Amino acid sequence: MSLLVTGGAGFIGSNFVLDWIATTGEAVVNLDALTYAGNLRNLASLQGDARHVFVQGDICDRALIDRLLAEHRPRAIVHFAAESHVDRSIHGPGAFVRTNVEGTFALLEAARAHWSGLGGAEKDAFRFHHVSTDEVYGSLAPEAPAFTETHAYEPNSPYSASKAASDHLVRAWHHTYGLPVVTTNCSNNYGPYHFPEKLIPLMIVNALAGKPLPVYGDGRQIRDWLYVTDHCSAIRAVLERGRLGETYNIGGWNEQANIDIVRLVCALLDELQPDPAGPYQRLITYVTDRPGHDRRYAIDARKIERELGWRPAETFETGIRKTVEWYLAHTDWVREVQSGSYRDWVAQNYAARTPGSA
């Protein structure tokens, strides 16, 4: 038995592959294009392990997916592969439409052809698990109730619009063709192997390098943070016991304003690796806001708890400390991902943001 995982060299995908093999012992075929966000170093501990088969390739390549499905006959597809960074989607939306919409379409069509040819127990057991985001629901007012699975889709960025489109395709392939799908919409993840273009790892690596900590707008935007291994355990629960055609929201019951997160990261670094030049908070710099910036996300995770008994295991206090410690212990990993293309991206995204005040 095996799973076909897409995007398994990225942040959440690699955590999932490591967690899946450690927890279940079941093999994974890992299809990843190794874009700037994919990193085989994340999977170094699986080198030589026959339960991990890595294939470098594109989810838009229908012939490749057909071949992988025929060769490995996975019992499920877990689909992480995506362009995932909102700021990049503002600078270059085309790649988001291609991978997130066209790629999901290619995968769905390949899955449908494969599943239609199966019989008996193999057909009944097959699953297509689509990994999506809470950003498809848009932005919440300060006192509004958290997103439930029936909240209207109101995506506001090219990234969230492309993910919303992919969610709709997945839903339609179930209703029209009967493809056995489940979709999960998760809040912001953090933890090991998080690429330092995203808030938490960016703040850690910039602080350690003595660089400014760029806080967009007034820094009062709210996200609901979940430690990445809790996302992995939620996906396992939905894959095993989720009802077909259903969507499940996954979140940490942990709403935090960005500026509070940045201050907490600074305080942890002050404790774990003090800077002789002074407290890290001195580096906080308010900069021009992200266009169309969603103000607040919050997940109502009662459905997955009620139906599948899932709750996050990690608290924010334990998770953020583990995360900061992981980055302090993996300076080689950080150095390697900060390649020329990373530096180009930082220049492109931050050069035009003028410093301001909250």
Told to check if 183 binds ligand DAU by CB under 6 A, we report no
CA distances from 50 to 27, 28, 69, 118, 280 (A): 8, 9, 18, 25, 44
Site stretch for ligand DAU (CB under 6 A), options 21-29, 103-111, 208-216, 315-323: 208-216
Which of ligand NAD, ligand DAU, none does residue 206 bind (CB under 5 to 8 Å by kind)?
Answer: none
Q: Are 109 and 174 in contact (CB under 8 A)?
A: no
Residues that bind ligand NAD (CB under 6 A): 6-7, 9-13, 32-35, 37-38, 58-60, 80-84, 99, 103, 131, 133, 163, 186, 188-189, 195
Residue nearest to ligand NAD (CB): 10
Distance between CA 260 and CA 264 in Å, rounded?
Answer: 6
Burial of 285 (0-12, 13-18, 19+ CB in 10 A): middle
In the set 32, 58, 135, 224, the catalytic residue is 135
Which of ligand DAU, ligand NAD, none does residue 251 bind (CB under 5 to 8 Å by kind)?
Answer: none
- Residue from 227, 297, 310, 316 touching ligand DAU (CB under 6 A): that is 297
Active site residue 134: yes
Which of ligand NAD, ligand DAU, none does residue 103 bind (CB under 5 to 8 Å by kind)?
Answer: ligand NAD
**Of 186 and 266, which CB lies nearer to ligand NAD in the complex structure?**
186
DSSP category for residue 289:
P
In the block, tokens 């699975």 appear at 149
Which of ligand DAU, ligand NAD, none does residue 140 bind (CB under 5 to 8 Å by kind)?
Answer: none
Told to check if 198 binds ligand DAU by CB under 6 A, we report yes
Task: Give the closest residue to 97 by CA, choosing from 109, 115, 116, 82.
Answer: 82
Distance between CA 107 and CA 97 in Å, rounded?
Answer: 14
- Could you tell me the sign of the dihedral formed by the alpha carbons of 34, 37, 40, 46, in that order? negative
Count of C-beta atoms within a 10 Å radius of residue 257: 15
Told to check if 216 binds ligand DAU by CB under 6 A, we report yes
**Of 88 and 263, which CB lies nearer to ligand NAD in the complex structure?**
88
Q: Are 315 and 260 in contact (CB under 8 A)?
A: no
Largest Cα span, the chain: 67
The angle at the Cα of 299, spanning 249 to 219, to the nearest 5 degrees, equals 140
Which of ligand NAD, ligand DAU, none does residue 34 bind (CB under 5 to 8 Å by kind)?
Answer: ligand NAD
In the complex, minimum distance from the CB of residue 170 to ligand DAU, in angstroms, rounded to a whole number: 16
In the set 32, 58, 83, 134, the catalytic residue is 134
Q: Are 324 and 265 in contact (CB under 8 A)?
A: yes
Told to check if 52 binds ligand DAU by CB under 6 A, we report no
Task: Give the closest residue to 127 by CA, choosing from 88, 209, 184.
Answer: 184
Residues in binding contact with ligand DAU, number by CB under 6 A:
19
In the complex, minimum distance from the CB of residue 266 to ligand DAU, in angstroms, rounded to a whole number: 14
Active site residue 135: yes
Distance between CA 183 and CA 259 in Å, rounded?
Answer: 31
Cα(first)–Cα(last) distance of the chain, in Å? 53
Which of ligand DAU, ligand NAD, none does residue 223 bind (CB under 5 to 8 Å by kind)?
Answer: ligand DAU
| Site pattern 122..161 for ligand DAU (x: CB under 6 A) | -----------xxx--------------------------
Task: Give the closest residue to 226 by CA, choosing from 263, 286, 184.
Answer: 184
Which of ligand NAD, ligand DAU, none does residue 4 bind (CB under 5 to 8 Å by kind)?
Answer: none
* Binding residues for ligand DAU restricted to 70-99, rule: CB under 6 A: 84-86
The residues annotated with a catalytic role in the active site are 134-135, 159
Q: Which residues bind ligand DAU (CB under 6 A)?
A: 84-86, 133-135, 187-188, 198-199, 202, 214-216, 221, 223, 258, 290, 297
